[in-house]
Chain A
Amino acid sequence: MTRSVLPGFKLTLGYTLAYLAVIVLIPLLTLPLKAASVPWEQLKATITDPRVVASYQLSVGASFVAACVNAFFGLIVAWVLVRYSFPGRRIIDSLVDLPFALPTAVAGITLTTLCAPNGWIGQLLEPYGIRIAFTRVGVTIALIFIGLPFVVRTLQPVIEDLDAEIEEAATSLGATRLKVLTRVILPYLYPAWLTGFALSFARAVGEYGSVVFISGNMPMRTEISPLLIITKLEQFDYAGATAIAVVMLTISFTMLLVINALQGWTTRRVAG
């Protein structure tokens, strides 16, 4: 550390580390500690149980689909909010953060009510035999909702910072608008776009509140991994809950590393 005339470094850093350790690190460390105390055979039996495997597949699969939907619409929403003007744009822009601000339980019961066979959306689809509530589609819908802001919010600043001269150069060299968009602008947005996708995916994998109501929680079909953890905890099967949680935490931390790498890429791209 270079010498500084500013005081309080030891005090604030000490407090930061102590508080971080007490509130976050020590509690999180109980998970690997607990896992280490469980015999390997038992851990393996839990995480390879077909019901648990099905829950991982659902949590990861539905999160992936939801993140793809959010990547597609998020790009359009971010582009429209930055580049076009229309009445109510600022209000809509603020509203994009609603899924961050709305408690997940409220989102859960609301989406379920909307999509239930007698709900506003459900009753439109019911005559065609399409069911959303209590199916995997419902799980995906809830995950789209909670992941919605990520792609929009990571793309917006990058689109705002786009250098108009690049577009002008490409246009004056004779590129069509479509070519400018796909060959010039889109490649520039890739890192941020991917970051938004990864953030949306990572959030969805661990999501619980908005999903449990709409999923119907049928074992092997619409049961997500976080719900299985709760079920095991309620049966006081702490070893089983720990085994599932360790796998989920591994997925989350891998995503965190990927996101950090992507953000580094974004920063370098924007700075360069």
Chain B
Amino acid sequence: MDDAAGGRLMVGTRPVRRLTEPAVVRWLLTGLALGFLGLFLLLPLAVVFAEALRNGLGAYLDSVREPDAIAALKLTLLAAAFAVPANLVFGVAAGWAIAKFRFPGRTLLTTLIDLPFAVSPVISGMVFVLLFGRQGLLGPWVAEHDMRIVFAVPGIVLATVFVSFPFVAREVIPVMEAAGTQEEEAARVLGASGFQTFFRVTLPNIKWGVLYGAILCNARAMGEFGAVSVVSGKIRGETNTLPLHVEILYNEYMFQAAFAVASLLTLLAVVTLIVKTILERRMHGGH
């Protein structure tokens, strides 16, 4: 490797300056980069666990096992259990339509799929209040059918599905595009049915991309705060998700308990990053 690079740098027999910055500059830039990341990423990570364990392991376990925390955890898992499969099926369907076919409005459709990323989380929650709230467009209809959507669990699920909507699609579309259509066409010509083609040919090609999208979708679904905060009504033990529970504890000055619950979400984030890194290596190794 070094030889090859060195060889290219030779002009006649005299070596040219190496194509990098002087050592002092390299050290300086590396120091700046690591200092910035240390301050903004490592320090906050350390604070979460330091504050969570401030009163010892016993207090930590008590805060995590407290009934309201468990109820919040259950609701968070429930919201993700709806959002991730729904957006996964959508992402794969959208990937098939957009990557395997050419049609007018294809670029526009791709842009529309990214729309939830462009909208403030608060607005993402608010539109459901405008739609299903008591003064909302469908408010009378909702009341007539004796349902509660906003300030109840369905609203939380809807807002969660909305904010985590693009993740799987935006990972699957490029992966499907890169795989092309030749393998599927060959399978079809050889007599495979549509479903056989999808499950035997397409899915093995895109599985890591799908999983990658699902992991990111799940992290967002479990961690969403702004949108869920607007539609939740924050009824303890009923419409509180983990991030909302963190807020309530913090605002009641129960800092240690707030950080204990926050540490669960931080662990989720760390696990997400680890799985994401492993999948990235898989996907690049696969090419």
Contact = CB atoms under 8 A, between A and B. Distances in A.
Interface of A: 1-2, 4-9, 11-13, 15-17, 19-20, 23-28, 30-31, 33-34, 73, 76-77, 79-81, 83-84, 86, 90, 92, 94-107, 109-111, 113-114, 119-121, 144-145, 148, 164, 167-168, 171-172, 177, 181, 202, 205-209, 213, 226-227, 229-230, 233, 236, 238, 241-242, 245, 248-249, 252-253, 255-256, 260
Given A31-B123, A206-B123, A168 B40 contact: no
The listed residue with most B CB atoms (<10 A of its CB), out of A110, A119, A213, A252, is A110
B225 to A, nearest CB: 4
Contacts of A241: 126
Dominant SS among interface residues on chain A: helix
A209 B44 contact: no
B214 interface: no
Nearest to A256: B118
A249 B119 contact: yes
A49 B261 CA distance: 39
A168 B8 contact: yes
B130 interface: yes
Contacts of A5: 185, 188-189
Interface stretch (B61-69, B90-98, B140-148, B203-211): B90-98
B37 A97 contact: no
A34 B161 CA distance: 22
A181 B216 CA distance: 35
Which 8 residue pairs of A and B lie closest in terms of their CB atoms, listed nearest first?
A206-B120, A103-B223, A209-B225, A208-B226, A101-B269, A7-B194, A226-B122, A13-B97
B73 interface: no
B224 interface: yes
Contacts of B37: 77, 92, 95-96
B32 A76 contact: yes
A6 B55 CA distance: 61
B22 A177 contact: yes
A6 B118 contact: no
Interface residues of B, number: 101
A98 B45 contact: yes
A98 B37 CA distance: 10
B282 interface: no
Interface in B72-120: 86, 90, 93-94, 96-98, 100-103, 109, 111-116, 118-120
B128 A106 contact: no
B235 interface: no
B127 interface: yes
B13 interface: no
A172 B11 contact: yes
A64 to B, nearest CB: 16
A30 to B, nearest CB: 4
Contact of A12 (B97, B128, B244, B276): B97
Given A98-B45, A230-B229, A4 B101 contact: yes
Nearest to B38: A92
Contact of A177 (B17, B29, B119): B17
Contacts of A81: 33
A33 B100 CA distance: 36
B176 to A, nearest CB: 11
A6 B34 CA distance: 50
Given A33-B137, A73-B33, A245-B123, A101 B112 contact: no
A109 B259 contact: yes
B238 interface: no
22 contacts: A1-B102, A4-B181, A8-B198, A20-B94, A23-B161, A24-B115, A31-B123, A31-B130, A79-B33, A101-B223, A101-B268, A104-B225, A105-B225, A110-B44, A111-B44, A114-B43, A120-B47, A208-B120, A236-B135, A238-B129, A245-B120, A245-B126
B200 interface: no
A15 B93 contact: yes
A206 B121 contact: yes
B219 A101 contact: yes
A233 B126 contact: yes
Contact of B94 (A16, A90, A233, A255): A16
B130 A238 contact: yes
B19 interface: yes
Contact of A209 (B17, B40, B109, B121): B121
Contacts of A2: 102
A81 B144 CA distance: 58
Contacts of A236: 135
A133 B230 CA distance: 24
Contacts of B115: 24-25, 28, 256
Contacts of A227: 122
Given A23-B165, A145-B40, A245-B126, A102 B223 contact: yes
A42 B269 CA distance: 43
B246 A4 contact: no
A229 B165 CA distance: 23
